Structure 1
Amino acid sequence: MSEITLGKYLFERLSQVDCNTVFGLPGDFNLSLLDKLYEVEGMRWAGNANELNAAYAADGYARIKGMSCIITTFGVGELSALNGIAGSYAEHVGVLHVVGVPSISSQAKQLLLHHTLGNGDFTVFHRMSANISETTAMITDIANAPAEIDRCIRTTFTTQRPVYLGLPANLVDLNVPAKLLETPIDMALKPNDAEAEAEVVRTVIEMIQDAKNPVILADACASRHDVKAETKKLIDLTQFPTFVTPMGKGSIDEQHPRYGGVYVGTLSKPEVKKAVESADLILSVGALLSDFNTGSFSYSYRTKNVVEFHSDHIKIRNATFPGVQMKFALQKLLTAIPAVVKDYKPVAVPAKTPANKALPASTPMKQEWMWNQLSNFLQEGDIVIAETGTSAFGINQTTFPTDVYAIVQVLWGSIGFTVGALLGATMAAEELDPKKRVILFIGDGSLQLTVQEISTMIRWGLKPYIFVLNNNGYTIEKLIHGPHAEYNEVQPWDHLALLPTFGAKDYETHRVVTTGEWDKLTQDKEFQDNSRIRMIEVMLPVFDAPQNLVKQAQLTAATNAKQ
């Protein structure tokens, strides 16, 4: 086979980088392209309910496997996906957005085609996406098309940002040399500038030598940019107290003896706040300093000795080293660390949250109790997804077993994101290990935005756990503003009828009202095995919320009211 179609070339390349499931919807400008997917062994077309959900699913898949691909059609399809793509851009998630666009001749003639704005401008949607993409490519020449596809895939993976790739309908059936597939795409990061990297390492080593009370703070990009192993080794070698941010949940082992808890500025537990803010050196790995990730920017470090390790730069105090990537800088630092920390005497870390006290089995469910009790249900290797709202804040109170990965969209915070992300993460988990559990916590209000993607899960026989926290409306919004406003209410649903409505045959549904019912269900051995799709409705009081959310809502309301 000396030649293959350009469409097949794209899917062969995706297969080579272990991106085996493609999300999206068919449209007349991408149909010929989609035909080629089925020519590549091991590739799967998810077939989503709508493009927004597809973008959310691609985000969830990429967080587990390193990158993903979504295919939409020109105009109406691609625009429907952009909220999800913007979230991936904000939160450093590598999603390749492939758009089937009209043929080159149609564009040149400025035909008044469907899905256009009727003005002959075929570049307007590409320009819109450029602002939320690391790079873009609109293929116009078959000769350089393979190289452009390779560049887009590499950029998606190495930068962990969305990339836009436009493929005209008339080009996907044209042939390119098959031998190009014999040369793998170079997915490795380019080395740091040696002098700049050496200066960073030397400066950080000097700061560690002078420090008496250093701490490590792991954030979102420790996971996104693949430095979890380096961060763990940094903790092991130094024995410094280590904390995570809300977006950093799952980036380090919370069973590690040097793990001290979640730092959220003023919203932290007092002992965690004191431990972090009294430090004389803070090694921050992969920070994303958003409002909900920092307790409305309430970090109160008492030291200016802060080192921020980022994917594309390092910041030391007020000095920035552009282009120095944290992965290589950390690796170099780790070789020099043992000699400078040999005299460090580890200080105690804050104690873990104690187990819940025994309660009568008839005690009504409450958020604070549930999030602490959840630690007993989770298992090593679980993927836990928490929706914007009470779940995103409550999960901070849950101590994870080893190797639990969290998906929480703290920065972008698009309500309903997690249903799509659940689909993507579960498909990724199935490819890695069919026994890996994927567990969603979502409110009754958020569920209504994207619920139809549950039908796609059923279509593929996926087996996630869907915990619906029914507190009768948008509790997070009620806490911020309008506690009794009609706009914060939703139509009540019969949640336990959803799975059969979407055609599920092998499924379970449960309603949990009391702590005794929770314990009986979560301790059941059969329930602990992900043998079928399950929906669990947890009945909670309307204004019941984790205390950190109550405080955050007050801070947010105050910020919104400032003149």
Structure 2
Amino acid sequence: MNNLPDAFHFKTEGRIMAAYCPGIQPVTSASIASDKLICSKPRSNNGPRVIIPPPTTVPSTLGHYLARRLVQIGVSDIFSVPGDSNLMLFDYFVAEKGLNLVGCCNELNAGYAADGYARRRGVGACAVTFTVGSLSLINSIAGAYSEDLPVICIVGGPNSNDYRSKKILHHTIGLPDFTQEFRCFQNVTCHQVIIDNLEDAQWQIDRAISKCLEESKPVYISICCNLVAIPHPSFSAQQLIPLSLSPKQSNQLCLKMAVEKASDLLNTAVKPVMIGGKKLRLAKAQAVFLELADACGYAVAVTPSAKGMFPENHPHFIGTYWGTISTAFCGETVEIADASIFIGATLDELETIGYSLTYKKNKAIIVEPNRVMFPNGSCFGLILMKDFLQALTKRLKPNLTAYENYRRIYIPESDPPQSELGEALRVNVLFKHIQKMLTNNMTVISETGDSWFHSQKLKLPKSCGYEIQLLYASIGWSLGATLGYAQAAPKERVVLCIGDGSFQMTPQDVSTMLRLGQNNIIFLINNGGYTIEVEIHDGPYNVIKNWDYTAIVDAMDNREGNCWTTKVHTEEELVNAIEIATGDRNDCLCFIEVIVHRDDTSKELLEFGSKIAAMGSRPSNLL
């Protein structure tokens, strides 16, 4: 689900791996819809609107070249905010066949949308203007970096003549130093480039895109605005040269030794288990992880960030391993196992509930995308996760003991929560009905907060997706990510679960969803504040001004008929709303505001809050 599109192939010739997209169709004036052309200059008071010509059949300028490269690697949507230094570049994006420029309400949401798009499509892109735009973007790019997402950040930069002029320009902090933006992005991208000449621009673009795809991290490309439309011979090749990606190969000796050591440990264990983590996506190892699970028969759990990366209808799936708030009986099964293999897990503070996991660390194998670590401290590097799992699959003996033990202690869930007629709606009742609503062509996106804990309990149907940002945990991320994910997967329906506090961070781009005709279902959980913060440390600052949320969304729609909104207070109203959203209103955006009590929280959030509060309030060891 999260790989690059079919048009993006890897072709191995000797030691060169090339990304190649054959059959790029020429662009003609007939192929460019008139409503996709935009002004290259502002419209004067009396003059006509100025329309740029469509691109030639082959790239001839920097603007042509970058647009064509993005299409080649599978980007069909760029999330953007216009500014004076990127307008001419945007002309080329708009005119490029197969490329859609999606205007967002602000740069932060444009970055979140590129994050969501990359999760589904395998690569995303956003484009903003110099400094004032890019520094607004940077928070969302930091989140994409934490999630190992390949996002291409394109910035329209100042005129190339200004870099050494010592002049002070607008959109700066008043100093003749234009490197502030560059230095900021060095911390949240794996590669940065400023294109201030045409001689090596092609190479610079290709190198940045290749780094983005190789390392699965964001990159930064700044392009001087006066260079975009200048023809140059380097852009005029009859066919784009395939992108050269550095070959990734395992050290065969290390691979053999690691597989032998791992198979010896696991094959001599009585009740081994396997746990998948979010870096399965980075390593593109989800399919081989499933093959290993099928072959060995171990009980299989995932960490919370990896939910949705392993089919939950698999016969040996036991749930989410999240310490004391794990899925029922999952934590016990993992922690009594006499051997475990963690594959792609990121054991950070939130994934481990304040580093409180009690699995047997002296019996645990840790598999990362490029190395394997063993409990005695030995580490084997230069081993690709996919290669290791494929080789290990052939060496492990089937062992169902841990799963059989899980089945012995497993007690089926009691009856789902019920409400009295007219009783105020509870959040656990809400998620009971979200569970019933889910189908295999849906994806759930869960916002920071109590939605984390309730959505982890959902049993995802086959092919139903799930996305979360747990490590960076930027509230408001999910709304922009929903915009991007839905744009990348138009045949799926995205279900967003977001609290009122998070929604107030990024509400503007619901209007972009409406403009694009997306049919997302948004459950806005209105409990009057930042509930997750309340459970960590309460205070008056956690209470927010209540909005008329449905009226705001209706105002964004502006009577165009692209959305349906409602407020629900009881289970009966909720059931009716879901029936409408999945029935008559299946083709439009549905916004359901769910009114719940301020103190309505999951038991998992209560425990999580106390653990994180304890971590934050530890006395300084410097005193």
TM range (shorter): over 0.9
Q: 1:480 aligns with which of 508, 527, 536?
A: 536
User: How far 1:104 sits from its partner (Å)?
Assistant: 2.0
- Residue 415 of structure 1 aligns to which amino acid in structure 2? I
Rounded to whole Å, the distance in 1 between the matches of 2:581 and 2:533 is: 37
Deviations 1:198-246 (A, max 9, x none): 2222222222221221111111122343221111111111111011111
- Residue 390 of structure 2 aligns to which amino acid in structure 1? Q
Q: In structure 2, the residue corresponding to 1:55 is in which secondary structure?
A: helix
Q: In structure 1, the residue corresponding to 2:114 is in which secondary structure?
A: helix
Which segment is superposed worse, 245-254 or 356-365?
A: 356-365
Pairing of 1:364-443 with structure 2 (within 5 A): 364-430=424-490, 433=491, 436-443=492-499
Q: In structure 1, the residue corresponding to 2:498 is in which secondary structure?
A: strand
Q: 1:307 aligns with which of 339, 356, 365?
A: 365
Rounded to whole Å, the distance in 1 between the matches of 2:399 and 2:338 is: 17
Q: In structure 2, the residue corresponding to 1:383 is in which secondary structure?
A: strand
Rounded to whole Å, the distance in 2 between the matches of 1:314 and 1:183 is: 36
Pairing of 1:91-490 with structure 2 (within 5 A): 91-174=147-230, 175=232, 176-179=234-237, 181-186=239-244, 190-269=248-327, 271-317=329-375, 318-334=377-393, 336-337=394-395, 340-342=396-398, 347-349=404-406, 351=410, 353-356=413-416, 359-430=419-490, 433=491, 436-482=492-538, 485-490=539-544
Q: 1:524 to 1:513 in 2, by over 3 A?
A: same
Given that 1:387 and 1:442 are in contact with CA atoms closer than 8 Å, whether structure 2 keeps it comes out as yes
- Residue 400 of structure 1 aligns to which amino acid in structure 2? L
Rounded to whole Å, the distance in 2 between the matches of 1:224 and 1:370 is: 33
Given that 1:355 and 1:373 are in contact with CA atoms closer than 8 Å, whether structure 2 keeps it comes out as no
User: How far 1:425 sits from its partner (Å)?
Assistant: 0.8
User: How far 1:525 sits from its partner (Å)?
Assistant: 8.1
Q: 1:3 to 1:133 in 2, by over 3 A?
A: closer
Q: 1:81 aligns with which of 111, 117, 137?
A: 137
Q: Is 2:71 the partner of 1:15?
A: yes
Which segment is superposed worse, 168-177 or 182-191?
A: 182-191
Q: In structure 2, the residue corresponding to 1:99 is in which secondary structure?
A: strand
- Residue 540 of structure 2 aligns to which amino acid in structure 1? E
Greater RCO (CA < 8 Å, at least 6 residues apart): 1
Rounded to whole Å, the distance in 1 between the matches of 2:145 and 2:482 is: 19
Rounded to whole Å, the distance in 2 between the matches of 1:506 and 1:166 is: 36
Deviations 1:257-280 (A, max 9, x none): 111011111222452221001112
- TM-score for the superposition, normalised by structure 2: 0.85
Q: 1:257 to 1:108 in 2, by over 3 A?
A: same
Which segment is superposed worse, 36-45 or 179-188?
A: 179-188
Rounded to whole Å, the distance in 2 between the matches of 1:240 and 1:262 is: 15
Pairing of 1:64-75 with structure 2 (within 5 A): 64-75=120-131
Given that 2:297 and 2:398 are in contact with CA atoms closer than 8 Å, whether structure 1 keeps it comes out as no
Structure 2: 5+ residue stretches without partners: 1-56
Pairing of 1:23-38 with structure 2 (within 5 A): 23-38=79-94
User: How far 1:513 sits from its partner (Å)?
Assistant: 1.9
Q: 1:110 to 1:249 in 2, by over 3 A?
A: same
Q: 1:505 aligns with which of 537, 561, 570?
A: 561
Deviations 1:145-188 (A, max 9, x none): 22221222222223221111111112222333332743322458
Which segment is superposed worse, 492-501 or 505-514?
A: 505-514
Given that 1:420 and 1:453 are in contact with CA atoms closer than 8 Å, whether structure 2 keeps it comes out as yes
Rounded to whole Å, the distance in 1 between the matches of 2:253 and 2:193 is: 34
Q: 1:107 to 1:490 in 2, by over 3 A?
A: same
Given that 2:435 and 2:458 are in contact with CA atoms closer than 8 Å, whether structure 1 keeps it comes out as yes
- TM-score for the superposition, normalised by structure 1: 0.93
Rounded to whole Å, the distance in 2 between the matches of 1:202 and 1:173 is: 58
Rounded to whole Å, the distance in 2 between the matches of 1:187 and 1:359 is: 57
- Residue 388 of structure 2 aligns to which amino acid in structure 1? A
Rounded to whole Å, the distance in 2 between the matches of 1:219 and 1:180 is: 44
Given that 2:59 and 2:65 are in contact with CA atoms closer than 8 Å, whether structure 1 keeps it comes out as no
Given that 2:271 and 2:400 are in contact with CA atoms closer than 8 Å, whether structure 1 keeps it comes out as no
Rounded to whole Å, the distance in 2 between the matches of 1:140 and 1:354 is: 65
Q: In structure 2, the residue corresponding to 1:45 is in which secondary structure?
A: strand
User: How far 1:344 sits from its partner (Å)?
Assistant: 5.5
Rounded to whole Å, the distance in 2 between the matches of 1:262 and 1:475 is: 23
Aligned residues: 554
Q: In structure 2, the residue corresponding to 1:347 is in which secondary structure?
A: helix
- Aligned twin of 1:52: 108
Deviations 1:92-122 (A, max 9, x none): 1111111111122110212211112222111
Deviations 1:275-299 (A, max 9, x none): 0011122121211222221122111
Rounded to whole Å, the distance in 2 between the matches of 1:315 and 1:234 is: 18
- Residue 537 of structure 1 aligns to which amino acid in structure 2? E
Q: In structure 1, the residue corresponding to 2:587 is in which secondary structure?
A: coil
Q: 1:502 to 1:91 in 2, by over 3 A?
A: same
Q: 1:140 to 1:314 in 2, by over 3 A?
A: farther
Which segment is superposed worse, 246-255 or 109-118?
A: 109-118
Given that 1:72 and 1:99 are in contact with CA atoms closer than 8 Å, whether structure 2 keeps it comes out as yes
Given that 2:417 and 2:432 are in contact with CA atoms closer than 8 Å, whether structure 1 keeps it comes out as no
Which segment is superposed worse, 266-275 or 43-52?
A: 266-275
- Residue 436 of structure 2 aligns to which amino acid in structure 1? N
Q: 1:139 to 1:377 in 2, by over 3 A?
A: same
Deviations 1:466-516 (A, max 9, x none): 10001111111111112xx32111111111112221125232112222223
- Residue 428 of structure 2 aligns to which amino acid in structure 1? E
Q: 1:41 to 1:3 in 2, by over 3 A?
A: closer
Q: In structure 1, the residue corresponding to 2:91 is in which secondary structure?
A: helix
- Aligned twin of 1:543: 599
User: How far 1:78 sits from its partner (Å)?
Assistant: 0.5
Rounded to whole Å, the distance in 2 between the matches of 1:494 and 1:357 is: 28
Q: 1:200 to 1:305 in 2, by over 3 A?
A: same
Q: 1:66 to 1:402 in 2, by over 3 A?
A: same
